[in-house]
Structure 1
Amino acid sequence: MVVALGFEGSANKLGIGVVKDGEVLSNCRRTHITPPGEGFLPKETAKHHRDNILDLLKEALDVAKISPKEVDVICYTKGPGMGAPLVSVALVARTVAQLWDKPIVGVNHCIGHIEMGRLITKSDNPTVLYVSGGNTQVIAYSRKRYRIFGETIDIAVGNCLDRFARVLNLSNDPSPGYNIEQLAKKGKKYLPLPYVVKGMDVSFSGILSFIEERAPELLKNNEYTPEDLCFSLQETVFAMLVETTERAMAHCNSDEVLLVGGVGCNVRLQEMMGCMCSERGAKLCATDERFCIDNGAMIAHAGALLYQTAGPTPFNETTITQR
């Protein structure tokens, strides 16, 4: 059995979790929340992580009811993500590994999401839709590698939703995407938006520009409500994601879809993907916000798997990469 301690800090969520042989013992998190209408900047996010990380580390160990000497391996997010937050968390992980004399493993953030999703849902070999604030990819496992079948060619779907939340001046608590989801549930009138699927790839920046440009006038003239615009944006971008995921399933002859990443806990996206899966006789695997949103447990779990199969990361390679 491997007891792994995982550090996650690639964006505005700081997470530390403890996983023992696939069992989540603790999964603690702090979120950097900015004022309405504003995004989060690397410098301020890194400061938030530095200010909170030691308290969160103590909390994670207390909740898991373990001491440092019971930890077998330290795992941290190597990338992709925002440079300054990644560095601030990696620095603590490296220091802790040296102080406690433990091996260290650098984890790919995307694989952390996928492996956590597989663990929680018990899915075997799914076609994965990874959707978050920084990533949008359709992924499947083939010949001992995770392979990207399609992705966004510009901004991520979560980034598209977050930036539209700023246009409406929605709160960032708990997240702009969550607040868009709640408004969209009350939307009735659909605004036709550009639908941009290019083969297996999708594009969101044009849709965002289109709705950003027209929203002030449409709201001012009372043609559409904020709820209608949120509903229209969600329906359009999620339909694009369902289309590309279904095409990847057909290519891979897959009968499972796994939804991971922060946008993956959106109930409407789960409904739309569920409809497609039931029509194909396939199964939808999805988790809730505890494991969809960036967290330390996913880094601990993926790191433990890496440690068991490939061993620790050489200390001179425990750097970070934004890509």
Structure 2
Amino acid sequence: MNRKLRRAFPAAALASLCWSGHAAAQSSVTLYGDVDAFVGAKKALGGQTAWMVGNGGATASFWGLKGSEDLGGGYQAVFELESYFSVQNGTFGRFAGDGFFSRNAWVGINAPWGKLVFGQIGPLYWNSTIFYNPFFNSFVFSPAVIHTYVAVNGQGVGGGGGEWSNAVTYSTAPYDGWQLNAQYAFGNAAGEPGQNKWAGQVQYRGGPITANVVYQQLKFNSVPGDFASSVPGLSTQSAVQAGATYEIGAVKLYGQYQYISNAIAGGGYHVNFGQLGASIQIGVGTVLMSDGMSKSGGERDEFRNTWSVGYDYPLSRRTLVYTAVLGDHATHFSSGYTIGGGIRTLF
């Protein structure tokens, strides 16, 4: 994605609606989102080629509402409601069974001491995955997203990239470029007190450098007790990821490393993943490059390599056209690929 457009995302808004009277200066609601579609061909690992109109080649299509109310003394009530949709067929969600506000649905307090929110919230691990690779949150062309959340051979993290339901997230106020985040999700199931998810993150933003380290531990994917359906015998998954970016003029460099440990009765296995990427601004357009590799160890021995090359061309501050190609190779599967071109516009 073009870096100028990325800075506008997702803050770009079509409308800002305010209540009348005294509250008009203190409360606001904003409508925003993006629409993204592409035409191309995809051959999944071990599958056959399909020609298609697809959704979210550059960024996942969604719309949202967010608002705040000034409570005085540096305190604000805040909320966010965001819904994914598939532009090629008009359905809501990213896949069958996705909730209506599947991207975010939370309410909370923004205060001098930080921000505390409750509801369905994007995982800290997901934020680390998308911000430290040049293809951002694309499930179509981002090697980092695909290896982490659309994994084969049991190599990825749990949760499928979906938001954490029944969650609480606390973020400190930024201090000299540093920020701490903590997240906990309840299982919300009677008789399952040990079923939970939790994560912690340290972030830094200063000058040309951004960096973060995030750790998460999962006891289930979507509902308590569902781990066995994905990996038989799996009881706990722990994962740590570090990411960094560095800007040098027209070039932005990206790097990520993650280690995933899966605890299984009588044994287990782990996965190492690394990704290197770059975005290079050439004139008004931007060339994107990324290569990611995963290697399993312990009870499993599998390898996967995925690479992508793309080009973004902005038509305006909010709209760009893009093209990209991805190659995918993994143990036990014939090779896959995706090629396509599309348009993405913010509102």
Quick check: TM above 0.5? no
Bigger relative CO (Cα 8 Å, ≥ 6 apart): 1
The TM-score with structure 1 as length reference comes to: 0.27
**Which protein is richer in helix relative to its size?**
1
Q: Compare the two structures and name the one with the higher strand fraction.
A: 2
